[in-house]
């Protein structure tokens, strides 16, 4: 009886405090089990196939590694600060970000990552630009090359500067300038990009992944222990008594503050926690190390779902930080940078020791993502210019121009007070644009390879149309784009949507009756 009264008191006190968060976590797990298995079946995994890790083994980029280690590296490669910083900024939109993280991860990001990795696996570890060229043609391959190089350079820049910000905050008592940390991380990137993948990445990154997971798990446990009052999907979301924040289902099109309307801003702000084109640049790296095709779902799709969980945890924490009992003043909250939120929350919730460990988890994630991004950039450049990476001289020859461009972006980031925010906005838009192109390549893959079968291309077509609509609308209405007034948003989005459907229908009818292109044979 006593236990019943205690439990009844707990449930009465805590009801309607984190239901949206709990439902979101459960939905992500079910998505992996049900939809992930469906995607696996549609692709047609063949565990008897010999993978490129063995057929093209060179002990530099093609190296067979244990599946658990490949999963850890894949998760760390794609995670970075994207699902953390993006979720923190996305929390300004209220619980609507839960919907995007959950459905984006299951139906867009998971499909995007899994198929990118598995198609690369089936094509000898082919890099993303070559995959796009194969299924969308030469012109799209050129566009993809431009997007990829810009994205990877920006990724290297963002993931040098953002961990340097956190380290600078953490060591403020030592009096070290932030430039010291930037130089240290930059130097590490250069070395790690040149070495064989199993020397640093294969050995140290699983440990880094544990640190990243520790951060997420420990803060997730804190959520359940503290059980804070955070906004639900069905609640009004306020930062102050007189300021109503827009959130899904409330009818407001715009929200106050600097972030703009939910559509399209939320879907670019929260990128890596839902779908990210950058992931498709990393999947081929791990496709070259996979021992068996049957591990594709837990490694590629599973890593995306894990990243979604991390994003949900930070979205929930940030909801408390912005809207709950720990809420900031509205004007202050829209100016606080994500690294400051990470530092503040980690130390306040976990104490000094736990906070330092959690922050380390946030620091190593972007560092590990940054160097693999620049590694992928080096491999793409080498393929493009036909420079075989079989000697130190040739590797350094390709790496130097890449790191020079990163250095130029870093200098802009350091000396411009709004440099981080500006770089992040461009990074977010290019990132999602890249995911859109990748999804269209996946649509073409199904159309070309599944003639006469059920219309499985729909699993890539729906997210492709949605992401493309988001990206076109975003660049039209934002200040970094054409700065068209936001009230034109529905008209722009509707027009782009209709054009895509018409163009796809025309292309699909021609493709179904045409011979297979020469590049596909």
Tokens coding 436: 């859109």
Residue 376's H or E segment, with its range, is helix 338-384
Q: Residue 238 pairs with which residues in a beta bridge?
A: 244
Lowest pLDDT segment from 69-73, 183-187, 332-336, 346-350: 332-336
At residue 16 the predicted structure's pLDDT band, cuts being 50, 70 and 90, is very low
> Strand, helix or coil at 244?
strand
**Confidence (pTM):** 0.83
pLDDT band per the 50, 70, 90 thresholds, residue 328: very low
- The phi, psi pair for 237, rounded to 5°, reads -115, 120
Full DSSP string of 216-242: HHHHHHHHHHH------TTS-EEEETT
How far apart (Å, rounded) are the C-alpha atoms in residues 504 and 179? 49
What is the chain's mean pLDDT, rounded?
Answer: 81
Classify 18-228+262-438 by CATH class: mainly alpha
What digits encode the pLDDT tens for the residues 96-148? 889 999 999 999 999 999 999 999 999 999 988 889 999 998 888 888 888 88
273, 103 Cβ separation under 8 angstroms:
no
Tokens of 81: 């600060």
Spatial neighbors of 479 by CB under 8 A, at least 6 apart, are none
Q: Report domain extents, the chain.
A: 18-228+262-438
pLDDT at position 452 over 50: yes
**pLDDT tens sequence across 46-88:** 999 999 999 999 887 899 999 999 998 898 778 767 788 888 8
d(Cα 231, Cα 506) in Å, to the nearest integer?
Answer: 45
Percent of the chain exceeding pLDDT 70 equals 83
Q: What secondary structure does DSSP assign to 172-199, as a single string?
A: GGGT--HHHHHHHHHHHHHHHHHS-TTT
Buried-exposed string 207-221: b where 16+ CB fall within 10 A, e elsewhere:
ebbebbbebbebbbe
Q: Cα angle at 277 between 322 and 30, to 5 degrees?
A: 65
Pairing of strands 243-245, 237-240: antiparallel
Task: With both helix axes pointing from N to C terminus, report the angle between 489-513 and 458-477 in degrees, rounded to the nearest 10.
Answer: 140
Going by pLDDT thresholds of 50, 70 and 90, the confidence category of residue 454 is confident
Question: Contact, 313 vs 223, CB < 8 A?
Answer: yes
The model's pLDDT over 187-200, given as tens digits with 9 standing for 90+, comes to 988 887 777 766 76
In 91-223, the DSSP E strands lie at none
pLDDT class of 13 with cuts at 50, 70, 90: very low
User: What confidence score (pLDDT) does residue 89 get?
Assistant: 81
Query: 240 - beta bridge partners?
Result: 243
Average pLDDT value for residue range 158-162: 80
């Amino acid at each position: 009886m006593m236990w019943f009264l205690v439990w009844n008191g707990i449930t009465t006190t805590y009801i309607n405090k984190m239901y949206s968060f709990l439902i979101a976590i459960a939905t992500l797990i079910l998505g992996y089990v049900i939809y992930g298995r469906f995607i696996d079946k549609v692709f047609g995994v063949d565990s008897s196939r010999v993978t490129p890790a063995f057929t093209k083994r060179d002990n530099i980029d093609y190296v067979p590694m244990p599946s658990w280690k490949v999963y850890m590296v894949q998760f760390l490669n794609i995670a970075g600060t994207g699902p953390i910083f993006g979720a923190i900024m996305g929390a300004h939109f209220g619980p609507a970000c839960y919907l995007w993280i959950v459905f984006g991860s299951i139906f867009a990001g998971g499909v995007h990552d899994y198929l990118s990795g598995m198609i690369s696996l089936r094509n000898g570890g082919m890099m993303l630009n070559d995959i796009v060229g194969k299924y969308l043609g030469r012109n799209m391959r050129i566009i993809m090359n431009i997007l990829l190089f810009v994205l990877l350079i920006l990724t290297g820049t963002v993931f040098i500067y953002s961990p340097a910000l956190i380290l600078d905050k953490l060591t403020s008592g030592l009096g070290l300038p932030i430039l010291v940390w930037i130089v240290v991380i930059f130097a590490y990137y250069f070395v790690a990009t040149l070495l064989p993948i199993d020397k640093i990445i294969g050995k140290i990154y699983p440990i880094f992944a544990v640190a990243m997971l520790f951060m997420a798990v420990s803060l997730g446990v804190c959520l359940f222990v503290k059980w804070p009052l955070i906004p639900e999907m069905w609640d009004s979301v306020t930062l102050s008594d007189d300021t109503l924040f827009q959130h899904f289902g409330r009818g407001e099109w715009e929200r106050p503050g600097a972030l703009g309307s939910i559509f399209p801003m939320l879907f670019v702000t929260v990128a890596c926690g839902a779908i990210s084109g950058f992931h498709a640049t990393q999947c081929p790296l791990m496709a070259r190390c996979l021992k068996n095709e049957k591990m594709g779902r837990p490694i590629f799709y599973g890593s995306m779902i894990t990243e979604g969980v991390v994003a949900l945890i930070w979205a929930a924490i940030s909801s408390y930080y912005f809207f709950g009992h720990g809420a900031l003043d509205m004007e202050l909250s829209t100016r606080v940078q994500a690294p400051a939120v990470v530092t503040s929350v980690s130390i306040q919730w976990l104490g000094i020791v736990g906070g330092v460990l959690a922050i380390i988890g946030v620091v190593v994630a972007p560092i590990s993502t940054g160097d693999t991004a620049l590694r992928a950039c080096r491999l793409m450049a080498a393929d493009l210019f036909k420079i075989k990476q079989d000697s130190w001289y040739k590797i350094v020859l390709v790496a130097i121009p890449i790191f020079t461009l990163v250095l130029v972006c870093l200098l802009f980031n350091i000396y411009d007070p709004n440099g981080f925010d500006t770089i992040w906005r461009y990074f977010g838009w290019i990132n999602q644009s890249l995911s859109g192109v990748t999804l269209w390549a996946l649509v073409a893959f199904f159309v070309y390879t599944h003639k006469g079968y059920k219309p499985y291309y729909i699993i890539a077509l729906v997210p492709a149309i949605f992401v493309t609509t988001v990206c076109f609308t975003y660049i039209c209405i934002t200040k970094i784009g054409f700065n068209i007034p936001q009230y034109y948003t529905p008209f722009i989005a509707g027009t782009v949507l209709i054009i895509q459907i018409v163009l796809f229908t025309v292309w699909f009818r021609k493709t179904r009756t045409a011979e297979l292109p020469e590049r596909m044979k």
